[in-house]
Chain A
Amino acid sequence: MDQHQHVAIILPHPDDEAFGCSGTILQFREKDIPVTYLCGTLGEMGRNMGNPTFANRETLSEFRKKELQDACEALDIDLQMLGYRDKTLEFEDQDEVASHLKGILDDLQPSLVITFYPGHAVHPDHNAMGAAAIEAVRRFDEEKRPEVWAKAISHNRREVLGEPDIVKDVADYFNAKMKAIEAHRSQAEGMMSQFRKSPELQELNSEGQKLLRYEEFYKWDFTK
């Protein structure tokens, strides 16, 4: 990973970066590699309103924007907010979203893009953001095209996609990762309790914890 000059993270929700790849981000930052988070929405339609609730549907976006800024500060990364609305990304024109992203990537010139694996990312916004991000990268000339690491979180990812190409044990960064997660105050407790209670995840030998410790990615193959 030392060869990377600039990393762009393209995910749709404030907190996707913290849960999904903040250990990896911290690793890059430790090596002084710049990281920019292109965050698709402000998670305006999230269900978690804090516990006990402190947000409502109309104030949630303000809280989440601040939480996102705090998390990015904790991770020491740049932030660009893309301005889409939570839950609606899959209904946007994918071509337009890809063009939007391509314009930003042309400026950033990242050597690596991290996004969700379309079709294996569970939440419709995740799948749509991943598909648009990969389409944006596909439009680069081959010699200038950044690498793409795609994050799959579906239960059947290993059966369908095989073993991930990259598995990062982020145990050394765990405390800092938890700080990034906790920066998303309105979301953290609700999400963590879901991990704890899910019968599926308990059966999978506390996969919730494993998911947080091992950050897995599939390298996207543009020749296919």
Chain B
Amino acid sequence: MEMIQIDKVQEALDHLANKDVYVHLETTNGAYASHFNSNAYNVGAFIRNAKVRYKHAKIVGHETFRIGLKMDHGWVYAEGLTQWEVDDKGRLLMAGHDAEGRLMVALEISETPFEN
């Protein structure tokens, strides 16, 4: 993955608008957060292959980025994204990591379902 270039990501988001797309959205602080630090507790959520159709999308930010996908009914939102790529299957993959390379947030959009 590469550092997000806002114009290029906006272009990729626009390309996927008004289409049925599959979304992987995830955030996590890890399954060991409370084990290694008793002041923390584990937080995480993911949804894989949610089928949505968004009317428009916008990426906003500087160094770390927020993305909102506006749907007919509701929104898809992610914060803390720093890296992106369009992979060899044409899927738009975005993520944010901590200083040691651990994933904290991911937003991925694809015209075909992600593998289970």
Contacts and interface: CB of A to CB of B under 8 A. Distances in A.
Interface of A: 45, 47-53, 56-59, 61, 85, 87, 122-125, 155, 189-190, 193-194, 197-201
Most chain A CB within 10 A, of B31, B85, B114, is at B31
Given A85-B116, A122-B35, A200-B37, A57 B101 contact: no
B70 to A, nearest CB: 24
B37 A124 contact: no
Contacts of A51: 100-101
Contacts of B106: 56-57
A200 B101 contact: no
Contacts of A59: 87
Contact of B37 (A61, A190, A198): A198
B102 A57 contact: no
B97 A155 contact: no
Interface of B: 1, 24, 26, 28, 30-32, 35-38, 46, 83, 85, 87, 91, 93, 95, 97, 100-104, 106, 108, 114-116
B36 A201 contact: yes
B102 A122 contact: no
Q: What 9 pairs between A and B have smallest CB-CB spacing?
A: A51-B101, A198-B36, A47-B102, A53-B101, A123-B31, A47-B103, A122-B35, A47-B30, A57-B106
B24 A57 contact: yes
A58 B101 contact: no
A211 B97 CA distance: 28
Contact of A45 (B37, B46, B108): B46
Given A51-B101, A85-B116, A56 B85 contact: yes
A47 B103 CA distance: 5
B61 to A, nearest CB: 19
Given A49-B103, A193-B100, A56 B35 contact: no
Contacts of B32: 122-123, 194
B9 to A, nearest CB: 15
A58 B87 contact: yes
25 contacts: A45-B28, A45-B46, A47-B28, A47-B30, A49-B95, A50-B101, A53-B1, A53-B101, A56-B93, A56-B95, A57-B93, A57-B106, A57-B108, A58-B91, A58-B115, A85-B116, A87-B31, A122-B32, A125-B31, A155-B35, A194-B32, A198-B37, A200-B35, A200-B38, A201-B36
A134 to B, nearest CB: 21
A122 B34 CA distance: 9
Nearest to A186: B101
